[in-house]
Amino acid sequence: MSEVEKTFVQAVNDTLASAMRQDARVIVLGEDVAEGGPYTVTAGLAQEFGTGRVLNTPISEGAVCGVAIGAAQAGLRPVLEIMFIDFLTLALDQLVNQAAKAHYMSGGQLSVPLVLRTQGGCGQRSGAQHSQSLEAWLVHVPGLKVVMPSGAADAAGLLASAIADPNPVVFVENKALYFRRQPAPDPPESVPLGRARTVRPGTHVTIVATSRLVGDSLQAAQRLEGEGIEAEVIDPRTLVPLDIETIAASVRRTGRLVVAHEAVALGGFGGELVARVQEAAFECLEAPIQRVGAPFTPVPVSPPLEDRYRPDADDVYRAARTAIEWDWPAARASERNVLSASPSGR
């Protein structure tokens, strides 16, 4: 196995092609997938595998999701593309009430080996209906696995595992990552679902970030390093199942935690992560957990407003500084009390 520089798009495309070559049951369907889709993720697949396995569908997310679920229950392994995560709202009845429940409600007789690929995230001036981060809705549904890769290598490896999984997996990509290059295994190598990755080791504060915010957190960590603060950056990679053990072990060592995601902070996955960490490592926390997320408003289309709205490395840096400095005032107050009680006042 070797490594080559790939974009996120190339990594996903290569993994789809590899899976389709290895297993004739794997099919791809969605709006304009035979033409490559809006970001060329499926480009070339129809030419290699034919339109019988790369199927363009009508613009009806609910119907297409239902077809994919039926195909999965009939023995195929469909990879369904929903063009924008915002449009997933139209497919939630099928995804939540059928795909996620079939195995349980059939007493284990049915399985739904479905991968639903979709992409979210802002920063492209696409407006409030094409820029959301809605992964928290999906995490709330028992029966769904939720994956959020932050780079090309993990996108390839996690997608390979998702396609092989017997359960429905929602694979959430971020459009801002699509054309960033990164070394990735060639051919694609599976990455287990439910295993976090420590992207950068550190001792003073733990930063847990998802998707695009992983790269921003690394930028923040580099800035903190220049100030003598070593930040550990962890990418959960999958939200369900969640590798809480790796995250909690880090927090037990550092005593401080920042949780960062692009989604709106209110009701976001970060809140669940905070609760889980407090259950697992409360006695080790030396400061309140800091959260980084978007403000509670629709995504603006105005470039200056969208830039202000979008969480970034500066937000992660400020949150980490807050966590580090939390007990400094208390320490200074304690020092003043000791000094005032001394005979010299010094």
CB 294 within 8 A of CB 264: yes
261 a catalytic residue: no
Q: Which of 31, 61, 232, 306 is catalytic?
A: 61
Rounded to a whole number, what is the distance in angstroms from the first to the last CA of the chain? 66
Do 161 and 192 touch, CB atoms closer than 8 A? Answer: yes
Are residues 172 and 120 in contact, defined by beta-carbon separation less than 8 angstroms? yes
* Cα distance between residue 25 and residue 53, in whole Å: 9
CA 274 from centre of chain: 16
Using alpha carbons only, give the angle 94, 96, 102 rounded to the nearest 5 degrees: 80
Annotated catalytic residue within 130, 204, 261, 306: 130
* Residue written as token pair 């709330």: 140
Residue the block writes with tokens 């070797």: 2
Catalytic residue IDs = 61, 130
